[in-house]
Amino acid sequence: MTPKPAGPPDGGWGWVVAAAAFAVNGLSYGLLRSLGLALPDLAEHFDRSAQETAWVSALALAGQQAASEGGSPGPVGSALSTRWGARPVVMVGGVLTSLGFVFSAFARSLLHLYLGLGLLAGSGWALVFAPALGTLSRYFSRRRVLAVGLALTGNGASSLLLAPALQLLLLGWRGAFLLLGAITLHLTPCGALLRPLALPGDPLAPPRGPLAALGLGLFTRRAFSVFALGTALVGGGYFVPYVHLAPHALDRGLGGYGAALVVAMAAGWGGPLLAAAGAYGLSAGSYAPLVFGVLPGLVGIGSVVQATGLVMMLMSLGGLLGPPLSGFLRDETGDFRASFLVCGSCILSGSFIYLGLPRALPSCRPASHPAAPPPERGELLPVPQVALLSPGAPHSTLDTTC
């Protein structure tokens, strides 16, 4: 048997995993950003409203983060990777995503798109993101935030390249979906690069039962619950600009290629719109690395894959409701002004919830008889192991570091 390393290698094969996670992020979130470009064409082709066509992106977002197949629980990808390993789960997810785009290219109604992008492609995306990011977090400790940040730049690179390219190729939405089906099949070799890494402190056997595999017990930790609530509220507005920024640019008189550049740069076109959207793009780009970078410090490296899946599930609630609500407000008011005001209110509400996170962290004091040093120390809580005093509990525990 190969001996377990003393801790995360903080490099080595981890950089290959980071490159694979970069591609996975680009072929999931990056493509989701670009789907908004197809919404006006879909609305015209099927003669439907902005609200109805917005459900295409909303269902894909919700499926990508929650895998809501048949009413099953949300973080399916993290639960399956906990049981079977990240490599086969991501490879299967790549095949499902590709099939979803190919099926959607032959759609005859919006229902076909709901099934193709929302069910097939969305479920495939749900199987790739959390396992890839969770595996990456296991390879790094001191450089974790850097590695996660580099991996999450994949969505920006994908948007920058794909959105204008699809407009320049003039493929139409059917041809674009066929091309994206071929591109997303590359998720499968990315999954093959996710080499398993055994670390001290890993459970000897996979968790038994669906609740244990999903990691729902993490909600009993007050800090994680506060963090999860804030993330769910932010998710209510986070995805709206990526879905409706291109239609908004078209409403402002831009052509198709100009709207593609808006999505690519996550920015508007000219004057105050450019400044506001550019600031949002910078803020949104820095938000994701922080969210997934601090999770190991909150829950420990052994639960990071499950925690990633749960956070994605909560963000999916906002991703499911935010874009259709934005489309409804646009249909009722005639423009996207009210849509973006509601979007900003959701993000601000989640940010205020985050302000309560320091108080939710457990109080601590030096342990009288410290145990052996922990195998891995989180980015958020990087000092030696100490005894934790849970609020209202008479005895301290040593199963967490702070």
Give the Cα separation of 126 and 129 in Å (integer): 6
Per-residue model confidence (pLDDT) at position 330: 85
Tens digits of residue pLDDT in 84-141:
888 999 999 999 999 999 999 999 988 899 899 888 888 888 788 878 888 898 898 8
Per-residue model confidence (pLDDT) at position 169: 66
CB-based contacts of 334: which residues, under 8 Å, 6+ apart? none
Give the Cα separation of 309 and 134 in Å (integer): 9
Tens digits of residue pLDDT in 203-256:
666 666 666 667 778 888 888 889 989 988 898 888 788 777 767 766 766 555
Give the Cα separation of 15 and 399 in Å (integer): 30
Per-residue model confidence (pLDDT) at position 141: 83
Per-residue model confidence (pLDDT) at position 304: 77
**Higher per-residue confidence, 61 vs 359:** 359
**Higher per-residue confidence, 130 vs 340:** 340
Tens digits of residue pLDDT in 261-290:
545 544 544 456 666 767 777 787 778 777
Per-residue model confidence (pLDDT) at position 306: 79
Phi and psi at 253, nearest 5°, equal: 100, 5
Q: What is the pTM of this model?
A: 0.66
* Number of other residues whose CB lies within 10 A of the CB of residue 74: 23
**Higher per-residue confidence, 62 vs 323:** 323
Tens digits of residue pLDDT in 192-215:
999 988 877 676 666 666 666 677
**Higher per-residue confidence, 374 vs 75:** 75
Instruction: Give the fold, CATH level 3, of 8-197.
Output: Growth Hormone; Chain: A; (1.20.1250)
Report whether pLDDT(59) > 90.
no
Q: 56-65, 66-75, 178-187: lowest mean pLDDT where?
A: 66-75
| Averaged pLDDT, 317-340 | 82
Give the Cα separation of 376 and 385 in Å (integer): 10
Tens digits of residue pLDDT in 151-165:
988 877 887 787 777
Per-residue model confidence (pLDDT) at position 373: 44
Phi and psi at 140, nearest 5°, equal: -135, 150
| End-to-end Cα distance, the chain | 33
Tens digits of residue pLDDT in 289-309:
778 778 877 887 777 777 877
Tens digits of residue pLDDT in 70-99:
333 345 666 677 778 889 999 999 999 999
Q: Which of 63, 182, 185, 174 is CA-nearest to residue 114? A: 63
Instruction: Give how far Cα 119 sits from Cα of 170, 275, 339, Å.
Output: 27, 36, 26
Distance of CA 156 to the CA centre of its chain: 13
* Number of other residues whose CB lies within 10 A of the CB of residue 371: 9
**Higher per-residue confidence, 89 vs 376:** 89
> CB-side exposure of 52: number of CA atoms within 13 Å?
13
Give the Cα separation of 61 and 59 in Å (integer): 5
Q: Which of 151, 176, 153 is CA-nearest to residue 260? A: 176
Does residue 194 contact residue 114 with C-beta atoms inside 8 Å?
A: no
Report whether pLDDT(16) > 90.
yes
Distance of CA 323 to the CA centre of its chain: 16
Report whether pLDDT(342) > 50.
yes
Does residue 75 contact residue 309 with C-beta atoms inside 8 Å?
A: yes
Name 388's bridge partners: 364, 397
Per-residue model confidence (pLDDT) at position 200: 75
Per-residue model confidence (pLDDT) at position 95: 95
CA pseudo-torsion sign 104, 108, 109, 111: negative
Q: Give the pLDDT band (50/70/90) at residue 65.
A: low
Per-residue model confidence (pLDDT) at position 376: 45
Does residue 111 contact residue 63 with C-beta atoms inside 8 Å?
A: no
| Averaged pLDDT, 57-67 | 66
CA-based radius of gyration for the chain: 21
Give the Cα separation of 31 and 25 in Å (integer): 9
| Averaged pLDDT, 394-401 | 40
**Higher per-residue confidence, 186 vs 252:** 186
* Number of other residues whose CB lies within 10 A of the CB of residue 236: 23
Does residue 64 contact residue 73 with C-beta atoms inside 8 Å?
A: no
Does residue 237 contact residue 346 with C-beta atoms inside 8 Å?
A: yes
> CB-side exposure of 366: number of CA atoms within 13 Å?
2
Per-residue model confidence (pLDDT) at position 401: 43
Per-residue model confidence (pLDDT) at position 394: 41
Q: Give the pLDDT band (50/70/90) at residue 387.
A: very low
> Boundaries of CATH 1.20.1250.20 in the chain?
8-197
Q: 50-64, 213-227, 346-360: lowest mean pLDDT where?
A: 50-64
Per-residue model confidence (pLDDT) at position 32: 77
Per-residue model confidence (pLDDT) at position 2: 52
Per-residue model confidence (pLDDT) at position 382: 39
